[in-house]
Structure 1
Amino acid sequence: MTVSSSRRSLKPSSAADSIRAGTRKSARSERKKVPVSESMISALIDLKRADEQGLVAQLTSQLRSLIATGRLGKGRTLPSSRRLASDLGVSRNTVTYAFEQLAAEGYLAASHGRRPVVTVDGGERIKGAVASGARSGKLRLSPWASSLKQADWPMSYQAPLKPLRPGHGDAREFPNEIWARCLRRSAVRAGKRELGVVNRARLREVLVHYLATSRGVRATADQIMILPSAQAALTLIAATVVAPGDEVWVEDPGYPGAAAAFRASGARVTGMILDEQGMQRMPGLAAPTLIFMTPSHQHPTGRLMSLARRTEFLGLSRPGKTWIVEDDYDGEFHYDSRPVPALQGIDAHGRVFYVGTFSKAMTSDIRLGYLVAPLALASTLEIAQRHMGLIAASHVQDGLAEFIADGHFLAHLRRMRRLYHARRDPLAEELERHLGGMLSVEVPSGGIQLVARLTRSRADQAMVKRLVATGVETRALSSLSLGRPRDHGLLLGFAAWRESEISAAVRTMATCF
């Protein structure tokens, strides 16, 4: 019998139609599910030829459901494949394949020459277990994963990008055609290489020169690891040098991703308060296993850590005992003076991990970060990187090496420094003009965002929610604190937004408040 798109052609028996109509009404009511007789099985199955699933998948799914809900109880013998195929108006192979799949899944016992038998005790026992799990809401999670619902990182409203979201450069100004040519040439080179042979050293060698001249970083290519993101670098460091229960110091307020990475390794994370020189050491505390800081542009305040403070923390660290992680997330952007050399460059004893990213200087979807490791840990970190699967795409690495070596990266940076500098001051001026009575603006010497502190209120998180509803995205300063917030204000991005967009966003803020 030929299968058609009509429901009737699949069920030729008018008697079966009558049974089917009654059983459908019963199924819709869902008041009581009772076992069905063998003659009614075909009436409970509804196959549609036009369905994208296909007949075999539909039949398998519907039989599985009948067993799981107890309509076909344990020990129930099903019709033969020939009989069920005739009743349904499908080929015998369709039924055979469905029986074989259910037998493989453990729902049926089937053997040659015998009709299949249901082997699963479904019904109320299965439903009760599912309902019990749904009511309890308890899933087996690690302590770290259980705390994620209380975290405000990353922001839950992060898509799509809206003014004045912090942490982003202007992707519209990126030289996409040049970047695409670099990637295409990289793909061609990859196709000509021997299978499995990848030149991973090229980008690292290019970075050695770039970091030395631009940030004062001292390293060899063997110390540099290319990762999918700066966050991946923090995860790698935490997994390598932090054991459960170890003490880790971070800035407070600070970058939430750092605390997230170290807590995932079981660390006890302690926030260090800030002053005008950046992170302060709290008196009386013994040196921790690791210290995380953003000395060039403190996240989120933009403050520059003084040389005296840098020296103090370097004196506190000891190789193998206390390590320092320097996150230079937007160190390419300085406007009012020459960039201050990286902390790593004045470390004479190999105590500092230097972490950087291309997502701020290029575009956020580049998804490449890098880590300059202390020489003593470089080989261990490379093995750990492989074990954790934190590998960046080779063709993107090769394309980026060409982009930097040919001068495109530095040309783009020079242009973006001028552009972002020209956007920072208008944002500060607009905030002073429209919201000067509510906000006190701290203008950073560099970076891609600024802090506006509340002068009359502490309800920065409520303000952020109101602003998001109007199409303006900011970050509450209090949400970046580890404990009880000492700072209340808004973190506002300026780099990604043109002057007209900045002006419109600030006017919206003024109307909202």
Structure 2
Amino acid sequence: MPVSEGMIAGLIDLNRADDEGLAAQLTGQLRSLIASGRLGKGHALPSSRRLAGDLGVSRNTVTYAFEQLAAEGYLEASHGRRPVVTIDGGERIEGVRTVASSPRSVRPRLSPWASKLKQTDWPMSYLAPLRPLRPGHGDAREFPKEIWGRCLRRSAVGAARRELGPVNRPRLREALAHYLATSRGVRATADQILILPSAQAALTLIAAAVITPGDEVWVEDPGYPGAAAAFRASGARVTGIKLDEQGMQRIADLATPTLIFMTPSHQHPTGRLMSLARRTEFLRASRPGKTWIVEDDYDGEFHYDSRPVPALQGLDAHGRVLYVGTFSKAMISDIRLGYLVVPPALVSTLEIAQRHIGLIAASHIQEALAEFIADGHFLAHLRRMRRLYHARRDHLVEGLERHLGEVLTVEVPSGGIQLVARLKRGRADQAAVKRLMEAGVVTRAISSLALGKPRDHGLLLGFAAWRESEISAAVRTMASCF
């Protein structure tokens, strides 16, 4: 008997208390319905809006499931049309026979590490489409692609003459050591710098090397969910530390934690700047060799209203700080390069761990970036982007205050690529994010970044990736939603 559009939701059984996220549950259950023949070839599924409403989930959850099944060959999905099933149950997909299984099929046995990762999955807003005003991105359209392309071509030609060398290319390490010393006050020799596929890879490497199951780790709350996920997966007991106007509060007794994770130059997500006095307090209270501080300087290149406060790492005289950075904000996210500045006592251990885990960045990308920096292109690009992003920040602030001043209180950051707007009159931020998403504006709820019960509410809005005309249009759309 054919399954009608209205019946499909009745075949789906989502469990919000399950360790497996809603998007993964929905994807798996739709896959099983197709593989078993319940949804046959040519069957049109409900629209993402209709199915989300029937199931009581966000439209983003349904969109993720549809896109994943389309990538696997189960569905044909195109913009503006309902997804259509493309196979019959039991057909072969890329030479592999599909296996029909019920939504209640036996789950695979997972390691504690994988199980903890599933429990600490990131908010769905991190999977949202790249539309105004999604936070966390620079403008790839402004990147000097022709210059970068020449660097890549020369690196590729040189690869034929290069023997297999060190995983951390010396030219890039030297270039980074000089850049970080002059721009961020980082004190390190070239051999203290590890080149990695991303900043998240750096957190994974740190967790694997210094955390023993049961260790206490402190993170900012609200804060970056990727950090909590990496540390929890390694068995740490992760505690969220409240924020004040200077970011992470210093707790009087620092005898407990093995590791403290912070974003002192531009707290994620609030944008607050930790004062020099607060930074010094953390360093004085930490225990050399026993309490590590991880400083994530994720968008430290962008400061607009004053000179940047030097990195915490540059103040550390006893080798307690591991400094994490990325090129995805300053250049383009597809470059997939991050770096980790390691205290001398950990260099050998982390280099071995890096090779063992396989967190190795492509050597030709490393060589191309070394040339891009050495020839002055990186600093020239940064100077231009600082001016551009500064103007875009001011344009967004002006638009929000003009059109949404009765609804939002805007917190203007001194740097970075995103800002926080607080909702007035006790409005719920996650409901607002859902409403804006349906209207085509992508934001992130501050409460979704809380480690436990949310204390902070507001909208995280990106400005760097969007032209002023795009920002204006998004603000007008926002105004129509409140």
Same fold (TM over 0.5): yes
One-letter identity of the residue aligned with 1:374: P
The equivalent residue for 1:484 is 453
Residues 199-348 of structure 1 aligned to structure 2 (within 5 Å): 200-283=169-252, 286-348=255-317
**Residues 1:455 and 2:424 are matched in the alignment:** yes
Measured in 1, the distance between the counterparts of 2:208 and 2:121 equals 22
Q: Distance in 2 between matches of 1:405 and 1:467?
A: 43
Query: Alpha-carbon deviation of 1:282?
Result: 3.3
1:19 is aligned to none
Please give the per-residue CA displacement for 1:399-448, whole angstroms capped at 9, x wherever unaligned: 00000000000000000000000000111111111111121110000000
Which structure 2 residues correspond to residues 379-418 of structure 1 after superposition, within 5 A? 379-418=348-387
| Counterpart Cα distance in 2 of 1:151 and 1:167 | 20
Asked whether the equivalents of residues 117 and 233 of structure 2 are also in contact (C-alpha less than 8 Å), the reply is: no
Identify which range, 155-164 or 292-301, moves more after superposition.
Answer: 155-164
Match of 2:334 among 345, 360, 365: 365
Paired residue type of 2:354 = Q
| Candidates 474, 479, 482, aligned match of 1:510 | 479
Are residues 1:155 and 2:124 paired?
yes
Per-residue CA deviations over 1:360-404 (Å, capped at 9, x if unaligned) read: 000111110000000000011000000000000000000000000
Q: Which residue of 1 aligns with 2:347?
A: 378
Q: Which moved more, 1:269-278 or 1:314-323?
A: 314-323
SS at match of 1:286: coil
* CA distance, structure 1, for counterparts of residue 363 and residue 168 of structure 2: 8
Amino acid at match of 2:122: W
**1:145-199 C-alpha deviation (Å, 9 max, x unpaired):** 4455665625356353100000000000000000000000001111122466888
Q: Deviations over 1:59-99 (max 9, x none)?
A: xxxxxx9xxxxxxxxxxxxxxxxxxxxxxxxxxxxxxxxxx
Within 5 Å, give how 1:434-445 maps onto structure 2: 434-445=403-414
- Aligned mates of 1:173, 1:364 — CA distance in 2: 13
The structure 1 residue matched to 2:443, chosen from 453, 474, 482, is: 474
Letter in 2 for 1:383: I
Residue segments in structure 1 that go unaligned for 5+ positions in a row: 1-27, 29-64, 66-126
- Equivalent residue number for residue 124 of structure 1: none
TM-score (norm 1): 0.72
Deviation at 1:307, TM superposition (A): 1.1
User: Alignment partner for residue 495 of structure 1, among 457, 464, 478?
Assistant: 464
Instruction: Tell me the distance in 1 between the aligned counterparts of 2:163 and 2:117.
Output: 44
Pairwise CA RMSD of aligned residues?
Answer: 2.0
User: In the superposition, relative to structure 1, how do residues 198 and 231 fare at CA in structure 2: closer, same or farther (>3 Å)?
Assistant: closer
1:16-35 alignment runs, 5 A limit: none
Match of 1:419 in 2: 388
Asked whether the 8 Å contact 2:156–2:364 carries over to 1, the reply is yes
- SS of corresponding position for 1:336: coil
8 Å CA contact 2:167–2:361 kept in 1: the answer is no
Aligned partner of residue 365 in structure 1, secondary structure: helix
Between the aligned partners of 1:203 and 1:327, the Cα distance in structure 2 is: 20
Gap runs ≥5 in structure 2: 1-36, 38-89, 91-98
Deviation at 1:313, TM superposition (A): 0.6
Q: 1:308-359, CA deviations, whole angstroms, 9 ceiling, x for partnerless residues?
A: 1101110122232100000000000000001111000010011000000000
Seq. identity, %:
84
1:190–1:198 CA contact under 8 A, matched in 2: no
Kept in 1, the 8 Å contact 2:411–2:419? The answer is yes
Give 1:495 shift: 0.3
Q: How does 1:156-171 map to 2 (within 5 A)?
A: 158=127, 160-171=129-140
CA distance in 1, matches of 2:126, 2:302: 26
Q: Deviations over 1:261-320 (max 9, x none)?
A: 101101010011111111102345633000000011111111110111101110122232
Deviation at 1:229, TM superposition (A): 0.1
What is the distance in 1 between the residues matched to 2:427 and 2:478? 17
Change in Cα spacing, 1:152 to 1:508, as seen in structure 2 (3 Å) is: farther
| Structure 1 residues 441 and 189, CA gap change in structure 2 (3 angstroms) | same
Conserved? CA contact 1:453–1:487, under 8 Å: no
Task: Give 1:462 deviation, angstroms.
Answer: 1.4
Query: Number of residues paired by the alignment?
Result: 386
* Matching residue's letter, 1:342: A
Q: Map 1:12-161; keep pairs closer than 5 Å.
A: 134-143=103-112, 145-146=114-115, 151=120, 153=122, 155=124, 158=127, 160-161=129-130
Among candidates 133, 150, 153, match of residue 184 of structure 1: 153
Asked if 2 retains the 8 angstrom alpha-carbon contact of 1:199 and 1:398, the reply is no
Larger of the two Rg values belongs to structure: 1
